[in-house]
A and B are shown apart, each in its own frame.
Chain A
Amino acid sequence: MIFEDMDPKVVANINNFLGDKKALIVDARKTSKSTVKKMLVASGVKMSHIFNATSLSDARDIIIDLKIDIVITASEVQKEKGMKLIEDHQKVFPNRSAAIFILMSEANSPASACAILDTEIDDYLAEPFTAKSLAENFINIVQKKMETSNFLTFYHRVKEHIFLNKLDEAEDDLLQLMQIEDYLDETFYLEGLINKKHGDFEKSLLSFKKSVEVNPRHYLSLQELIDGHTKLKQYAKAYEFSFASLKNYPIDPEKLPNLIRLSLTNQKYEDLIRYAKFFSSLDEQCPATKTSIAASLVLCSKYFFNNDNRKQGIQTLLEAVKASSGKLSILHNIIETFIANKESKLAYEILNKFSPLHGKNPIFKLLEIEICFILEDVQTVLTKGIPLAESGHANKKVFEAVIVSSIKTDRKKSSIENLIDKAQTKFPDSIDYFSSLYKK
């Protein structure tokens, strides 16, 4: 433990600070808990004050009932996101000056840690961690929480009032903060948040801009400016502030698709070529964020197809398949993109490749029928499509495929009419369209 190298007085203060604190470890896996527990006890948390939860619902109950001061959670708890618990923790401690929330995550790139930057989560612990990293990080956070200054007192109070929607109180405390000149960037940022909560969007952007003028690297103000200008469809401004942010900080991989959209709306097409190259090169090195990369590659490929660069479009989509980790929503998007760009054979190959994994999924079945219809495989369309149409699970395209294939194969008139009837019942806005299929 790192305490051996620390000033005993500091250690005593830390022990004292943590002596009455209650901690909760949220993790469904049977690892790490003993190390985290050991570290908490060594730091001064009483063993009887440490609790465990293996699901978010249990964790929520414990946080609220026992007013847990310190939450250390895995990023994924029984397929739910551990970071959601910050909302519950914030309700118990709207003033974050002494509350601690730490996220442990398998995604261990610096960019992945950006997911917590605009939340009230205090720290991000990358896995696998060492006992030393765990202790160092925890002690750093505790020492930060032990700091008392005029600035921090008012800073936390303003944020608390904003969270509780007590905007008059927030404004009063903000006036106190305005007197402390060293932190004007933070003060303008908080002013922006108050204005935003008041619903004065334009005024809030002016405050965030003032914050960035004082400190061009103010992350939270930069993010607000990017979001705000995007919402106002001022994409050039959003691009400009994204540039300022990216100059100093990486981007949360989950937000990479937003970056691509921003380049597209700003017609920065050179970006797209570079993004595709960048994401392809990252694929193997980012196992935890591969799906965000895959989604980004799909967006790039759409741009290539739309700009007659078919070869690069196909290549980029195939890269996306590799990075998709078989995630259905991304595969669906990839296959649809192939179909939309008249590459049905490739779409079918990918579908077949992932059939053992998703073959029974209704979305996958619908896609298969759609592709077989394009490839004029009437028999498969009818064999697999009729049961879906009969049971009412078919979408519009599948109804169309089954009806047209039935007509082509001269199925009984009553069967075709029955299918049209079902299609019209399910899609009343397309009654005429389905009728017109038979007339033709």
Chain B
Amino acid sequence: MSDLLSLSLTGARDALKAKKTSSTELTDAYIGAMEAGKSLNAFITETPDKARAMAKASDEKLAKGEGGAMEGLPIGIKDLFCTQGVLTTAASHILDGFKPEYESTVSQNLWNAGAVMLGKLNLDEFAMGSSNETSHYGPVENPWRRSGGDNAKLVPGGSSGGSAAAVAGRLAIAATGTDTGGSIRQPASLCGIVGIKPTYGRCSRWGVVAFASSLDQAGPLTRTVSDAALMLGAMAGHDPKDSTSADLAVPDFEAALTGDVRGMKIGIPKEYRVDGMPAEIDALWQKGAAMLKDAGAEIVDISLPHTKYALPTYYIIAPAEASSNLARYDGVRYGLRVDGDSLNEMYENTRAEGFGDEVKRRILIGTYVLSAGYYDAYYLKAQKVRALIQKDFNDAYQSVDAILTPTAPSAAFAIGENEDDPIKMYLNDVFTVPASLAGLPGISVPVGLSGEGLPLGLQVLGKAFDEETVLKVGGVLEQAAGFDALPGFLAGGK
């Protein structure tokens, strides 16, 4: 079968079921694609041998008419998920050589569903970043380039930058990501693909290297909304090993994609029209609202009054949790150790050399906001504002079924462009962070191109554990937008 790489996840699934191709054939095509796409630096570790062995096993099942929902489909795994016997780095020097003796629940769920592992994808160090530039393994390149001669290498967004670039550039048919403040949705938007962060508690966090425990959620990055529905279904589920995992059955997400949004109420939050928002983003947002209206939905103006405070709230809570979560990287039980004359020196040397600048910044901020005398002013205050942000959403959902916003305030920017100013970088997450703080599901769907020919996404937010509505609205948006632009780099060609 020709052009295997252009198949979507559901398309490939159907082709495998119909025996139009084999998992081995598909997997080999992607192993070739990984090779061809090396310049993107999307993978930290490639596991072609493992992929071939898994594909072979899948083919045997498929031949017998057996297999799970993801049987034989070759995917990439963000290198924040622990994978048994396979180097797991979180893109940090401090996890040098770490090969977990265990498999994360989400990746295990995917293998149980028959998926094939291509390798481990690059990310911002410990998922702290919005551009994939903080990786110890170097930046990831966005497969897209600006139109009009500027050949600058662009960031894929972050922190799931390797995942987004690999899926957009066809180095993987789909990939896992994690989203703490926008790390699935923002790179999906910047790379012209689909990314969904489910409700907090929908996917197990067990075996996922923790950044900020009250915010981290796994989700898929895919080429289509139905791909996202398929893969999320395989990743999700109650896990007794994660106390924050929701004890709820996983719905048939694909079945939710009815394309019918007639009578649904879609909220447009006025506070998301932030100062200095580029006109083309605003225009895209209005275009998206018009599409949904044309499909029969009712567009409702709503207010989420504390939106402005989401980002500062996030930049207290996430670093605070991170400062504690990252204390375990101390050179004693795994990863890097830099010797010292005393235990404390060993700790200080190891952590100084093992962590990059952005991680250090966040650890120090987090340590400070929790320290004696500052806890109430920072951390406690932030948790109170967080409660208000959650209340904003609860109030809004009294009158609407879903909320439509832009995903990111800009298209992909050049590598190095925003590096000097941490706040400027943090502002990338201005539209994604509020839902993260409230634990709500959100999807980014590519809807149009910027003036420079770069993809732009819109975000659909939903009620807690109502990913079905999020996917349904996202699907309608996808259908209406008919986004079919392709990036400059595409493994296997256009």
A and B physically associate: no
Question: Hey, which bits of chain A sit against chain B, CB under 8 A?
Answer: none
Question: Hey, which bits of chain B sit against chain A, CB under 8 A?
Answer: none
